[in-house]
Each structure stands twice: as structure tokens, then as C-alpha cells.
Chains A and B, each alone.
Chain A
Amino acid sequence: MSKLKIPTAEQIIKYVILIFSLFVSIMPVLWIIFAAFKTNMQIYENPFSFPPNLYLENFKTAWTQGRMGRYSLNSVIVAIPATSLAVFTSLLAGFGFSKLKFYGQRVFYFIIIIGLMMPTQAYIIPLFFTVIKYNLTNTYMGMILPRAAFGLPFSIFFANSFFLDIPDELIDSAKMDGTNNFQIFFKLMLPLSKPVVSTLIVLNFIWSWNELLIPLLFVFKDKMRTLPLGLMYFKGDYMIDYALTAAAVAISMVPIIIIYVIFQRKFIQGLTSGALKG
């Protein structure tokens, strides 16, 4: 059937809705990015517009004097280990819960699932004082370990659901060949778990990158701040340099956007296959 050249009313409405929603999604983000390339005067005159010329000073200042460079580095130093830890340990645990049998299995699983329901605020208060007591404040460890832990309930749940779906026969036949559980995990399960791994890596990375509460409470030395915290305190002294703040915000957003765009297909695939299982 050949396509009609003139769109139907239904089609027009559909595209209008889609494009309007596109506008709503992205315009706020674009406005800030535009502002980052303008001077304060230009922002004042015309807040919405595309920058007349690409003014780069804001980025330079934000990165150096504004210490955004330092904050970004800290965010990376925290995010990568936190993500690796969370993903690796939850893959291990997911396999353990789904494919192996041991006493107290259900109890442990339940204890971990409670973590899905618990709001962060439920445990942040004592954790705060514990971190202080063990002098983990202002350390990378102090940010990495809790952040990895926080990602565990969902990651384990997700990995568990995924492994449950892998047919037992696969494992049984491997066992009959004499491989032990560890070899099964590393040689058989891991390669199969590509979809979940992508999703878990991206999710945990995003959570870690955007984490505010942990650095807010555990870090008070400026040189250890991560991006969200640095951004929150990025204000001029009793005056706001809007252009500079915009540049700082843009710097914060870009890494995440890039990672998301690169991984988005695998990520959404993995996310939705897990979600469909509920």
C-alpha cells in the first residue's frame, strides 16, 4: 500500500503531541546550555535564545576557579569503583540466590529486598554518625562503600530475576561435566548476562554520579566534593553569576548525557526486560 502524501488529522495530532513533548523534555536543558555560552548581560537581555556567539569564558572559569574540574574528578573517582563493586557483588549474589540452595536463603533475600522499600532516610542518620566515628569522612572510601551498598537491593533483585530465567538445564549439564559453581558463574553465567550488566552498570553509574545525600553529609572538605555537592554550593558570595552557574550545570550534565546516549539501547532493553517481570 502506498503512503498517502497528505497526513491525516490523526497523524497530525500525533506528531504535534510528540513534538510538543520533545520540546517540554529538552528545552529546560537547552536553555541552561545556551546560557552557559552567554555573558550575564546577554542572558539578561534574552534568556531563551541561542547564544549569539560561543562565549567560552564561563566554562574556563567554572572548571578552574569554580573547581568543577576537581569536582568532576572526584565524581569519577567515586562512581567507577562504586559501580564496579555494586555490579560485581550483585551479579554474584544474584546467581547465588537464584541458582544455588543454602540454608537461610529466603531470609537473606528478604532482608535485602527490604532495602528496596526502605527510604534512604531510614538509615542515613546512624550511618552518618558511624562514618564520623570511623573517620571515613572526607574520604573516597566513605563515599564509595555506602553508595555501592545503596545500589545493591535493586541490583540484586534485578540480577536474580534475570538468572532465574536462565534454564536450569544449562547448569545441570555443566555440572555433569564436572565444573564447579565458580567456573559455572564465570564461564557460563557472566557471558550470558550481558543485557543485565549493561543496565546495572549504567544505573549504578548514574545513581553514583547524581548522588547528593552521601557527599552532603560525609564530605565537608571542598577538595573532596563531588559534582552535585559542588554545584549546590556554587554560588557567588551574595551575588549569583548566572552564566557561570549555567556553565557549571552544563559541565555536570554532559558526562551523563553522553553515557546515556551511547548505552541507551542496551540499557533500556535490559531495564524493560526486568520490569516486565515485575
Chain B
Amino acid sequence: MKKRFISMFVWMLFTAAVLTAGGQEEAKDEKTELTFWHTFQDAQQAAAVQEIVDLYMEKNTDISVEVTVWDGDQAKTVFGPALATNEAPDIMYTMSNDEMLGVFAEAGYVIPLEDAYEKYGWDDILPAHTKTSCYKNDRLYGIGHELDILGVYYNKVIFAECGLEVPEDYDEFLNVCEVLKENGYIPIAFANQNGWPAYHQQSFFYNNIVGKEQLHKDMFEAGSFDRPEYVESIEYFLEWIEKDYVIPDTLSVTYNDGNAMFNTGKAGMHTTGLWAFNSFYDALGDDIGFFQFPQIKDDKPAINPGGIGSCFTVTSNCENPDLAFDFLDFLISSDVAEIWLSGSIIPGVHLTDQQVDSYAMPPLFRDIVKAVNSPAGFGFNVDIYMTAEVNEVTLNVLQEAIAGKKTAEQVIAEIDAAWQISK
């Protein structure tokens, strides 16, 4: 009996100790502090960011920057509410879409940056397209970063084995798929349990069939998706499913598992973006190649969706915005471009081919960086610019189409309906 009370008493003591000790203790430094949250969760990427931050602190010894790395998924749920507390960071790296930056801007959690742009001359070093998605209600709230390009990664060894060459147009692309399939490989490592990989496939087809110009009009000038070209795009996409060119049971396979299929040499191609580059390269090294999505229509040049997805923002919680701007100026300058590139992140700052050639990086990555920096540019990554409602509908309706429950017409009808309501 006594034992029980003693143990209970110990528990109580422990409880009391914890309750009175409080949460965390923050060491108070003499230095001015900046807090910086980002979502570069990949180990290599996070290391690159930290290297840049350390460099900044070396140059500015009276400033200390506290970095917090976030899981991208949790960030979606939590960044918003976090901004309402006094724990909000000074600088936040966030997605520039409607659900994140749009909400933050409307709630007044982030401050406009037009003056900073002018003061630091960011317009001179950053291409105009890095700003497009950062405008909300005609005010500019973010500095676009992390250029991405969606394209086709392919396994050179498998291609050689099957006697295949990089396709020059879409018909050849389909042929490549067919040959891969015959040889027992998965042609395209597309896995859609998460739902969002389908966005990217949709973007490929929209840009190449509808064309960048029309797409621009419909997205930014509040047009309509109710056009035959959009329906055609979806049909082209669904053709992959019908012909079994993707991972079997694609709706049950997670994006990670899909990558695993590519990385273990089971799939010939993977149509996705740069964010997973490190995992491909670590697994397959120079056995991977990259090519742009092939031309589909004679009158529409081949173009890959790309651009920025996320941006740096300064929150209204920041006590010292000028300091934040100074830090950001350093972060996006070409001085540190090489460090970003070492983490396989393409910074927004414009780079010449010579600069790119001078940096150390895998040759494959170099090709991609040059492609991104080329004047031809890239197409739109549709889901970045769409509203939350449209994205939600798109995700579900594409899954239904993949399962054969909806036709391309139905898909477009539903997406357009959501767009008309929410634009």
C-alpha cells in the first residue's frame, strides 16, 4: 500500500515539476535575432540553406539567424495559424498559391515588398516571372525562389537495353512507352495515391496542347476552361492509363513508392519536377538523363511547365523589416547561387551560361539549370495559380478519371465549374 502512495507521490512531484518548468527556454543572446522558417526538408537542401545562413552570420557578426526546417505537409496545416501567434517567424518560405500566400496576404500576416524591391533593385536580377504568383490583390508579397521545371527523367541504361533514343515528338514518345512496356518495364513511374502528381501531368498537356498564351488568358484573365483543347489534354493524359503506361494500381501507390520504382530500375521514365532530383541522383547517378516534354501539336512548340512554386515572405510579426530585407537580399543574390545549386535548388536569380558552367554540379543538373535560364522559358505549373477550390476538385476528379469513373468532358466541366465560382 505504501508503495503505491510513494509512486503516486513521485508522479505528482514530476507533474508539478513539469508544470512549473514551463515549455522551452530560449537563450537570450546579445545579438539581434532573425527567425527564419523554411520547408527545404531534404537533408542536402537543408544543409545548403544552413551554409548560406552561416555565411551571412559570418559577415554580420551582430546578427543571429534562427532557422527552423519544416515538413512541407505539416506546413500546409500549421503555417497559417502559426502566423497568428507571437511565435511567428520574421521570414517565412511558403508556397505562393492561393491556399497559403493568398490566405496570409488577405489576413495581413505578410507585408508588401514593392518598396524593398525598388530599394534593393531586385527587379534587375530576378526575372519577371518569379513575381507572377506572388501578387495577391495587386500587391506584391513574396520573392519567388526555387525555380522548377517539370520534365522527363529517363533511365539511360534501360533505354540502351531496349534500343531507344530520346523521343523528338509525342508520337515517338508513345512509341518509347510501348517498347518499354513490351520489355517488361513500367514506362512512366506515375503514382497517384497522393493526388497531386496528377496536377503535373495535367500541366504538361495543357501547356503543349492548349498553349501557353491561351492558358495565360484563361487563368489570369478569368477565362474559362470550357474549351475542346482542355478536354483533349485530359484525353491525352488518360491515354497513358488506358494503355497501361503508368504504374499498375496507380491510385494505390504513393509518390514515394513511385520514386522507388524509378530508382530501382523498374521504370524507364518519370515525369516530375526537380524536388526529387537528389533522390534520383543518389540512386542512379549518371545513369539518368533528362529531356523536355516532347512536342505534341505542330503549331505549338514544346514547352515544359515550370517556374517558381514558393517564395520568401516577411511577416508582419517582424520587428525589424529592414534587417529582414538585407538578409533576403543576401539569400537571393548570385553570390550564393552556387550554394543553392549544390543543394539542387535553382535560385530565382538570373544566371548566364558562363556562370552556370563555372559552378560544380552533376552534368545532368547543369543541363536542367541552363534549360531553366534559357530565354525560351517555360510554361505554367497550373496548380500554383489556381484557387484552393479548383485544386481540390481537380485532385479528386482526376483520380476518378484515372479509375475510369469520369470522362475527360466531365473532368473539364467540373474543374471549370469550380473555377467560375472561385475565380
Task: Give A contacts to B, CB under 8 Å.
Answer: 77, 80-81, 83-85, 88, 128-129, 132-133, 135, 137-142, 144, 191, 194, 197, 216-217, 220-224, 233, 235-240
Contacts and interface: CB of A to CB of B under 8 A. Distances in A.
Nearest to A229: B74
Contact of A81 (B15, B43, B276): B15
11 contacts: A81-B18, A129-B81, A132-B82, A132-B84, A137-B85, A138-B87, A141-B19, A216-B77, A217-B78, A223-B24, A237-B278
Nearest to A186: B5
B86 A135 contact: yes
Given A84-B11, A224-B24, A240-B257, 18 more contacts: A80-B11, A84-B14, A128-B81, A129-B81, A137-B87, A139-B22, A140-B22, A140-B23, A142-B23, A144-B19, A217-B78, A221-B68, A235-B256, A236-B279, A237-B278, A237-B279, A238-B275, A240-B256
A220 B69 CA distance: 10
Instruction: Determine the main DSSP class of A at the interface with B.
Output: helix
Contacts of B12: 84, 88
A144 B15 CA distance: 10
Contact of A220 (B11, B14, B74, B255): B74
A239 B256 contact: yes
A216 B71 CA distance: 12
B196 interface: no
B263 interface: yes
B263 A239 contact: yes
B279 A239 contact: yes
B120 to A, nearest CB: 30
B71 A233 contact: yes
B119 interface: no
Contact of B15 (A80, A132, A224): A80
A137 B42 CA distance: 25
A88 B5 CA distance: 12
A250 B205 CA distance: 44
A139 B23 contact: yes
Interface in B219-265: 255-257, 259-260, 263
A133 B82 CA distance: 10
A84 B15 contact: yes
A155 to B, nearest CB: 15
Nearest to A198: B4
Contacts of A194: 4
10 cross-chain pairs, A with B, having the tightest CB-CB distances, nearest first = A139-B23, A81-B15, A237-B42, A220-B78, A238-B276, A84-B15, A84-B11, A239-B279, A233-B71, A238-B279
A141 B78 contact: no
Instruction: Determine the main DSSP class of B at the interface with A.
Output: helix
Nearest to B260: A239
Nearest to A148: B15
B41 interface: yes
Given A81-B14, A137-B85, A233-B73, A240 B260 contact: yes
B260 to A, nearest CB: 6
Q: Which of B11, B19, B23 has the most CB of A within 10 A?
A: B23
Given A194-B4, A238-B279, A77 B42 contact: no
Contacts of B41: 237
Nearest to B4: A194
B421 interface: no
B87 A135 contact: yes
Nearest to B37: A220
Contacts of A222: 68-69
Contacts of B21: 140
B70 interface: yes
Nearest to B277: A238
Nearest to A225: B74
B1 interface: yes
Contacts of B70: 220
A44 B77 CA distance: 34
A239 B14 CA distance: 40
Interface in B55-88: 68-71, 73-74, 77-78, 81-82, 84-87
A233 B42 CA distance: 13
Contacts of A128: 81
A249 B77 CA distance: 24
Interface string B1-42: 100100010011011001101111000000000000000011
A137 B82 contact: yes
Nearest to A85: B15
A137 B74 CA distance: 14
A217 B85 CA distance: 14
Q: Which of B19, B69, B77 has the most CB of A within 10 A?
A: B19
A138 B256 contact: no
A221 B11 CA distance: 26
A137 B23 CA distance: 9
Contact of A144 (B18, B42, B84, B276): B18
Contacts of B255: 238
A141 B11 contact: no
Given A132-B81, A220-B82, A237 B43 contact: yes
Contact of B256 (A129, A197, A238): A238
A139 B24 contact: yes
B146 to A, nearest CB: 15
B14 to A, nearest CB: 5
